[in-house]
Amino acid sequence: MSIPLLLSELAQFIEDDNLMAAARAAVVHLNRGLPAAVVARRVELASPEAQEREFEGLWNTYVEPEGAQTLNSGDVSPNVLAYRMSYQGVVIDHVIKLFAAGGVWWDRAHRLVLKEAAETALA
């Protein structure tokens, strides 16, 4: 999938609060640390294998624990939860690919997620 299409889909996905939380977690996680650490992380994530490892780490850290908590609370049906979690995975994958692409694509994705997060917080 092309980078512009990833950004376009991400913009649509983050309109959903559940998906926004996954996007925000991925953006903060990937953009953490000093600028040199961020650059090193971006270089490392140039390989698909590294992107897959990063995805698994984000999934295990953010999506799976939230899913287990939601399932145990009974707030949503298992089918709805599975649907939500699959889209959270897509959002995380998009954020990782945009981060790895860097440059203007990451800047746009980063601003988009932070802007949507700020608007959600104000609402």
Which percentage of the chain shows pLDDT scores above 90? 64
Range of the domain at 68: 3-122
CA distance 23 to 117: 9
| Token pair listed for 100 | 């790895």
Structural domain total, the chain: 1
At residue 69, the 3 state secondary structure works out as helix
pTM of the model: 0.90
Identify whether the C-beta of residue 85 lies closer than 8 Å to the C-beta of residue 67. Answer: yes
- Provide the pLDDT for residue 122: 66
| Token pair listed for 33 | 């640390």
pLDDT, tens only, 1-36:
788 899 999 999 988 888 998 999 999 999 999 999
- Provide the pLDDT for residue 123: 62
E strand or H helix that includes residue 80: helix 78-101
